[in-house]
Chain A
Amino acid sequence: KNQVEQSPQSLIILEGKNCTLQCNYTVSPFSNLRWYKQDTGRGPVSLTIMTFSENTKSNGRYTATLDADTKQSSLHITASQLSDSASYICVVSAVYGGSQGNLIFGKGTKLSVKP
């Protein structure tokens, strides 16, 4: 079954520090991988989308990497801010979706940035 696993489940860091979130997937055939940010009480918002040929993609202080060979991705947040406190969801798109649709969602990593 297509699955997306994220680690850690939760993370607390101090404002200004960097952090890295991990995502492993077993989705096949793979189409693309995306990272979403979900603020508490809001819908997810897309941060990056990467195909298998893209190793890294940045969006401001957010940098996502993808290793399609090992089926791993990471999201690196630089110089964290209080507004980065949110859940970060890794989502993998399959070429053929089936009943899951073409997007398979991870459970998310809850990041808390403390002053």
Chain B
Amino acid sequence: NAGVTQTPKFQVLKTGQSMTLQCAQDMNHNSMYWYRQDPGMGLRLIYYSASEGTTDKGEVPNGYNVSRLNKREFSLRLESAAPSQTSVYFCASSEAWGGVYNEQFFGPGTRLTVL
């Protein structure tokens, strides 16, 4: 099992460009998440999908959109990239939303630079 995979690994964009970050999991998990990690800060939740067909905003959703394409795939789109979106983006998945032993499994990350 590959677990959680993300593409691309690295990306450089110019201000105003758009792009989509892809995420897929092969663990048959119901819930998926997008986080960003910035230097000196903890991971912050951008959007999540508690189950197939649903998406909800997290702590920092502005400037992003998401699509839960199917149970396996959850994409994150930047419509008009800004330098403030330079960050490392992590996708994660879990068997369910909430629950005491709801363990989240993380992908390897996408390092995005916006010039």
Q: A108 touching B101 by the CB < 8 A rule?
A: no
Kindly identify, within residues 66 to 105 of chain A, every residue whose CB is under 8 Å from any CB belonging to chain B: 89, 93, 95, 97, 99-105
Interface residue? B2 (CB, 8 A): no
Chain B nearest CB, measured from A71 CB (Å): 17
Interface residue? B74 (CB, 8 A): no
> Which residue in B33, B41, B98, B109 is a CB contact (below 8 Å) of A42?
B109
Q: Using Cβ atoms and an 8 Å threshold, which residues of chain B touch A46?
A: 103-105
* Contact count band on B: 20 to 34
Chain B binding site: helix, strand, loop or mixed by DSSP? loop
Q: A101 touching B90 by the CB < 8 A rule?
A: no
Q: Using Cβ atoms and an 8 Å threshold, which residues of chain B touch A102?
A: 97-98, 102
> Which residue in A89, A93, A101, A106 is a CB contact (below 8 Å) of B45?
A101
A to B CB contacts below 8 Å, 10 in the list: A31-B100, A43-B90, A43-B92, A44-B90, A44-B106, A97-B98, A99-B45, A99-B59, A105-B44, A108-B42
A→B interface (CB under 8 Å)? 4, 31-32, 34, 41-46, 49, 51, 89, 93, 95, 97, 99-108
